[in-house]
Each structure stands twice: as structure tokens, then as C-alpha cells.
Amino acid sequence: MCSVGLAHVTNEELRDQPESWPVETSDIVFEGKVISVRKDVVRSPVDGTTFARDVVTHPGAVAIVALDENDRVLVVSQYRHPVGHRLIELPAGLRDVDGEPPVETAKRELYEEGHVRAEDWRVLTDVLSSPGMCDEAVRVFLARGITDVPDADRHNGVHEEADMPVSWMPLADIVRAALAGKVQNALLCVGALSAWAASHDGGYESLRPPEAPWTAAERRRRP
């Protein structure tokens, strides 16, 4: 496989770089409740040609690896209509409250879906879920110091979230299931593998603080 341009990259240079090619025209072709789709005609600065790209615009999301003192991860089981599966997932949710910091969204989602709260929050990893077609940026948090929410104070979900059982699974078992293809939710796989890697390389204390800069989310690409 050709690796031209990467042979001499150092650890400090191993990072995504902001770049924006000129957009000749941009038209909204679909406006939905959560997402919209626009058609951009982009001009290449390399050869001057133009090409059309459909772009799904998305508000962004957060996900949470809630880890207890026994290295177990809180997971939910949720029906996902587009893929026709009930998936094992992390608590997660859209960034759909204007001005709400990502970590506050994560705390709210962990409370609503996982019925727990956490004292210690770190940024585990940041993910662009499908950059070839969508601008969705997801921040995955690590949450520790878990306490249960009393039954009387628990959030009652609706629609798919009305039937969303919660359980605790060993982190090692989730990693094995991800590598075996038994669990397929992208954020669960990324979160579990990242937590496993962090625990074996530097430890959780070396992770970024919950308010760490998040360039991909704050720099919304627009024509």
C-alpha cells in the first residue's frame, strides 16, 4: 500500500488538519427533525475540476463509557430501526440544547439513559463518525465515581427509549465482543477499545479534562 506523504510524519505531526476547499454552490435538498442534507458543488484546488457532494448536517453527539470500580461498563440495549437490530450501546445523545457544554450533555444523557451519575469526567476520544458524507462529531467521555439515581428520580424514556434495559458488562468482555464482531455499534466499539488502551498506556489520569478544546465540533463547516 502506498504511504506517500506519511513516511516522515512525527508524533507531533500525527493530527488532522483543518482544510476547506471552495464551494461553488450549496443547496438544501432535505430538512428533517434532526438532520438535513445539502448538495455542495466543490472546486478542487488541485486540478480546478468541480464535483458534487451530498452532505448530511448533524448537531453532533456525546457518548459515555461509565466505568465502575470493578472495571465494568454501563451499557444499554436499544432497538435501532434503520439497521433492524437491537444493539448493545453506550449511553449517548444528541447535542441538541443550544449552548450546553458537551460534558453537561453527557451528564444529562448518563442520568436519563443509565440512571446513574458520575463524579469524575475525562475526555476519552473524539470521533468523526462518517466524514465522507456527514459532519457529525462525537465526543466520548469516560465517567467514574458512579452513584445510582434513586428510583423515584429516574427519567422515563419514550419511543425506543421506553424499552432500553441497562446492564453492567466487564470492559474486557466488551473488547473481546467488539473484536469478534458480536457488537457493532461504532461508539461502543471505539469507546471500549479506547478505554482499554488508556488503561494500559498512561492510565485514566492522563486523559484530557472534560472541557478540553474540541476543534471539529466548534468549527462547523459551511460553504
| Whether 211 is catalytic | no
CA quadruple 158, 164, 168, 171: dihedral sign = negative
Contact 109, 88 (CB under 8 A): no
3-state SS class at 13: coil
Strand partners, 214: none
Measured between alpha carbons, how far is 183 from 143 in angstroms, rounded to an integer? 21
If you count them, how many residues does the chain have? 223
Query: How far, in Å, CA of 75 to CA of 67, rounded?
Result: 10
Residue 76 corresponds to which amino acid? V
Alpha carbon distance 89, 190 (integer Å): 11
Catalytic residue among 161, 205, 211, 218: 161
Known catalytic residues?
161
